[in-house]
Structure 1
């Protein structure tokens, strides 16, 4: 793509790129039909990096709502520019469940076909079917022990993503043992790598929807909120991070793990307060309380009828 150039109109290409990079995704997709130049934008590396950089200032949220009386769930898309609207992943041509999100991408697993995973961009409606992580299909004789945890890591600067599947090995007819199997997919090589370690029972007490990618590592919050389990993707090593002492001493509170301006963050919501901690020093694992506000009984009534899973994209 020429930059800058006025060959295609009154404005140089660089000016046009800056304008288009600030459009909501839906409007950007519509603009692809204007001319060949604009149609090529979705595959132009320079434009993708520019759009991702500007999109950080306008975070979008995908909410999965599950009715307590039914097993079905629906998706709601929330955007500061476009508002709230229903959302569907029907472009994947499979019934899928969202398992993780990172930097605009979603990792989904097939509901009818166990062991099948997709990574998609819900805004451009593009997706990739990942190669099978195992040779044999998932059956009761060959249980899928590698999919207890699912994580997605996306490095925008490198235009690269990783998918992690991890869980205890389980032979047919036996309880899972302490052999913890981890599979990591690399989008550059288009292959899975596998490593095995021995882990304690922390890995059986995971909040599977609480996974965050920060500092080259994936972080999972245990369902008991006793600690954070970390996988360093640079060296394939598992470790633990302690939570803030004040948070660990509380009971009956809702706790969420998230990324806040590039830092690992924990949000605790009680009946009266919402408290936010941020790990400012990642190497020393030092937590700092950055905000504490009155919360009230928000969402209490709604939680009787539905549960929510929030994916930041």
Structure 2
């Protein structure tokens, strides 16, 4: 069972390196064993110009799903052992000029009664530029070793968010954000041929969502709770921070957890305390163990701060070297460092003429 003593990191989604081995090599023992939280892998401008972009798509029970952007090559790795498997290529239709297509990918996994990971499923959905009355899913299961396609109809046409955010995981299901109104939930283990729509709280600041690509809000799971956290865009807004929690997941009910004004805020850091009246904040992540803590980017001081819900206090926790201009919630993802290695399940071998089982196993062997 995970405990608050386990270290965690807020991972920057994009890592610029020459090959995937360099991605897992960054999980060195001295980084994994550190007790401090930090934003890892904030790539420099030089790296971005010279290397390939590998993107963190999702995490599940100690595993991390990556993708080589552009080539759409997927990797599942265990950062503790620094072992990984490369998934087979999924079908990809070249987008046309009228309806450009993107992908939103995520990962969910299963554990047995001994809390040992037994399998994982990677799911991706086509993100068309226009609203559509259906969703096209593709899932890869380590149990079958194959990609399977689904086309699920929606009650009303929807448009999924195409910014860099991946789906969030809650209740064993993946949730993709829908512009303005809410998110679509899809559970590949429970019912892979259906999805459900979940609305966001009605009293949120909808104008912020429409005009600013959701950078002022954060929706994610924390200690079994689904939360929606919102930051006011203007310093003159009456409320600075607001949060809602899912009261009933099945019925779709939200309840307001708190609303605070800028005059309620304080900080033990003199520099931060002096600019609280006008400072701009962007939400980044919930603390994975502590329901009291939310992490935000402070634009004015170019640092990451923690916000204590109970004390209404802000503290500086991390000052990265270099720029932070693109550090938003949809470009970072919290990752808990497992206490024990999580062996990556080797995908099963699809029965296919002309390829021996041994040859297929060699393709998917773990690397170090």
Structures share a fold, TM > 0.5? yes
TM-score by length of 2: 0.54
Deviation at 1:248, TM superposition (A): 4.9
| 1:306 lines up with 2:254 in the alignment | no
- 1:111 maps to 2:61: no
Show the 5 A alignment for 1:55-204.
55=3, 57-58=5-6, 60-64=8-12, 81-84=35-38, 86-87=40-41, 95-113=53-71, 115-134=72-91, 147-156=102-111, 157=115, 159=117, 160-167=119-126, 180-199=135-154, 201-204=157-160
The answer as to whether partners of 1:146 and 1:182 remain within 8 angstroms in 2 is no
Question: Which ranges in structure 2 are unaligned for 5 or more consecutive residues?
Answer: 15-22, 44-50, 266-275, 282-297, 304-322, 336-368
- 1:60–1:79 Cα contact (<8 Å) kept: no
* Cα distance between partner residues in 2 of 1:268 and 1:153: 26
Shift, 1:60, TM fit: 1.2
Query: TM-score by structure 1 length?
Result: 0.63
What is the aligned partner in structure 2 of residue 35 from structure 1?
none
Structure 1 runs of 4+ with >6 Å offset: 74-80, 143-146
Which runs of no fewer than 5 residues in structure 1 stay unpaired? 1-52, 67-73
Aligned pairs (5 A) from 1:161-310: 161-167=120-126, 180-199=135-154, 201-224=157-180, 226-233=181-188, 234-236=190-192, 237-249=194-206, 251=208, 254-270=216-232, 271=235, 272-293=239-260, 294=264, 296=276, 297=279, 298=281, 299-301=298-300, 302=302, 306-308=325-327, 309-310=331-332
8 Å CA contact 2:9–2:37 kept in 1: the answer is: no
- Cα offset, 1:212, TM superposition: 1.4
Larger helix share, 1 or 2: 1
Question: What's the CA shift string for 1:154-178, capped at 9, x where partnerless?
Answer: 33446122111111589xxxx8975
Q: With a CA cutoff of 8 Å and minimum separation of 6, indicate the structure with the bigger relative contact order.
A: 2
Cα 1:198/1:239, change in 2 over 3 Å: same
CA RMSD after TM alignment: 4.1
Distance 1:196 1:305 in 2: 39
